[in-house]
Amino acid sequence: MNHFISLKYFSANQIQDLINLAMRIKAAPLDSKSSLAGKSVGLIFEKSSLRTKTAFYLGALQLGAYAVYYSPDEVKLGQRESISDVARTLSGYLDAVVLRTYSHSSILEFAQASSVPVINGLSDFLHPSQALADILTIQELKENIKKVKVVYIGDGNNVCNSLIYAFSILGGKLTLAIPQDYLPSVDVLNEAKDYAKISGSEIEIADSIEEAASGADVLYTDVWISMGNEAELRERKKAFKNYQINGKILQLAKEDVIVMHCLPAHRGEEITDSVIESKNSVVFKQAQNRLYTAKAILSYILKEWAK
Ligand code: CP
Ligand code: NVA
């Protein structure tokens, strides 16, 4: 089954194929406009979304497919109906399902029962479609991701985990500045070490945010409090208070550093207003690239692999 659940199930060549496909779609959007004609894509979201919903929903329509969106109140996976019953029912209607869930295990359970491809539109553990757009953005603006210092500052969360998989599979240098209690899981870091043996990537944990930011080509951050972590608001704000991309941190990076954020941003927390509005910020280019990578994922999964 051609699921898109984690980048770890993809080789470097396959990830690069997806990026190249996204670039082709971006350069000539009309060339692919009927490529998924007659296909149907469902989007089941347990959490809010602006970019991911728009990218996959509109992306499906722009490729000529139908799209059905289920808001967080509708399906109630595992509450109104078992995950397996939903997956088997929708397999009879749809050609692919994009899922955004609280628990990553819900996506795995859905995929187990589904006879159509499942795309991870974010879980508590991973956000692979985001990482794909991020790699595209870095490639566009810095050309070779293997030749730049990319620094992730903040929470070792779903976005961070997917970036670790992307960099460790593709190669490149990713430096993490993350408080000790919020580091990515040991499993993810160990897997990354294995992938690095093949790709030559360097995934490093810096001793301080200043050390990490020094000489950076890319500074990346995400919220301190992800969807689902709201109950930990007070302790997280305390733990992350020194993990902010601000003017001082920006100064330590290269002059032409690009600043990235998957959005939504909490200005004044993980990033200051002046940095996200600065000439170095590429957050809206990055957001726009979600559309082309979503279309590439849909095309790849529904068409290319079916050939
Ligand atoms: N970056 C991202 O996934 O945004 P949304 O939560 O708005 O989809
Ligand atoms: N880490 C964030 C990403 C949102 C796109 C969250 O999970 O809420």
| In contact, 44 and 70? CB cutoff 8 Å | yes
Examine the pLDDT at 304 and tell me if it is beyond 70. no
- Compute CA distances 270 → 47, 54, 96, 103, whole Å: 21, 24, 35, 24
Please work out, in degrees rounded to the nearest 5, the angle formed at the alpha carbon of residue 44 by the alpha carbons of 264 and 22: 65
Percentage of residues of the chain with pLDDT beyond 90: 97
Which pLDDT score, from 0 to 100, does residue 11 have? Answer: 96
pLDDT band at 1 (very low <50, low <70, confident <90, very high): confident
Q: Is 3 a catalytic residue?
A: no
Q: What is the distance in A from the centroid of ligand 2 to the CA of 159?
A: 7
| pLDDT of 307 | 46
Report the separation in Å between the CA atom of 223 and the middle of ligand 2, taken as the mean of its atom positions. Answer: 7
**How confident is the prediction for the chain on average, in pLDDT?**
97
pLDDT at 305: 52
- Could you give the CA distance from residue 26 to residue 137 in angstroms, rounded to a whole number? 12
Q: What is the pLDDT of residues 62-111, one digit of tens each?
A: 999 999 999 999 999 999 999 999 999 999 999 999 999 999 999 999 99
Please tell me if the CB atom of residue 52 comes closer than 6 angstroms to any atom of ligand 1. yes
| Residues 36 and 63: beta-carbon distance below 8 Å | yes
Average pLDDT over residues 177-195: 97
Q: Which among 104, 236, 262, 286 is annotated as catalytic? A: 262
The answer on pLDDT for 210 being more than 90 is yes
Q: pTM of the prediction?
A: 0.97
How remote is the CA of residue 103 from the centroid of ligand 2, in Å? 13
> Which residues pair with residue 174 across a beta bridge?
150, 203
Q: What is the pLDDT of residues 127-137, one digit of tens each?
A: 999 999 999 99
> Phi, psi at residue 152, to the nearest 5°?
-105, 125
pLDDT tops 50 at residue 232:
yes
C-alpha 45 chain-centroid distance: 15
Q: What is the mean pLDDT of residues 133-148?
A: 96
pLDDT tens digits for range 29-41: 999 999 999 999 9
